[in-house]
Amino acid sequence: MQPSSSKSKPADFQPGVRSADQGDGNLFWAGIEKGLKQGREQGEQIGYREGEADGLYWLIEKKLGGTAADDVRAPLEAADSDSLRLWSERILTAASQEADFR
């Protein structure tokens, strides 16, 4: 019989549950679980921001034309969510390509 690795997942491991008798193996898996959760949350935030940028690009394209949308593509891709929300409000009243989306 081979010795078990300290990094192997114990048979009684339950994600998110820790007890006083859990050893280093469970702490390892709890760390993995925490890292995966943080990665998912960051991915969701990035995806949400990209969706905001895509939606705003579409609105600019429909309201001001393809040239205007192409001119602001790079700033939209680099913008944070707060800026994208502000610009989404501005597109509602924008009358020309001179609207400030930078």
Q: Would you list the domain boundaries of the chain? A: 24-93
pLDDT recorded at residue 26? 84
Tokens 């019989």 correspond to 1
| CA within 13 Å, CB half, 34 | 8
pTM of the model: 0.61
Question: pLDDT in tens for each of the 102 residues of the chain?
Answer: 445 545 556 566 566 555 545 556 688 888 899 999 999 999 998 999 999 999 999 998 888 888 888 888 899 999 999 999 999 998 888 877 666 666
pLDDT recorded at residue 52? 93
